[in-house]
Structure 1
Amino acid sequence: MVTGSGPRSPKQKEILRDIRNVLTRYMVRGNAKDLDIVALKIWKLTRR
């Protein structure tokens, strides 16, 4: 997925945990299209 350079801050770990929870929820429901949208949003957030 997203690889960061250097150690992650506690805030980043928190965000990643939330992301993982959301992704798991979507995967359980099997909404592949929604999963793509969420992944794209996450990618944009992590690019900042």
Structure 2
Amino acid sequence: MKSDRKTYSGEWKAKIAVEAIKGQSTINEISSDYKVHRSQIMKWKNKH
């Protein structure tokens, strides 16, 4: 069975990356809030 990939807008990625950079929440908390894997958040954080 083929799984569908999720696509996210650049604006949405940037919003999450900025939240991670600010450090007010942990990566795990952000991951839970937005239902995105923590490694993906780290990639976006490093990119922005």
- TM category (shorter chain) comes to 0.3 to 0.5
Which of the two has greater helix per residue?
Answer: 1
TM-score, scaled to structure 2:
0.34
TM-score, scaled to structure 1:
0.34
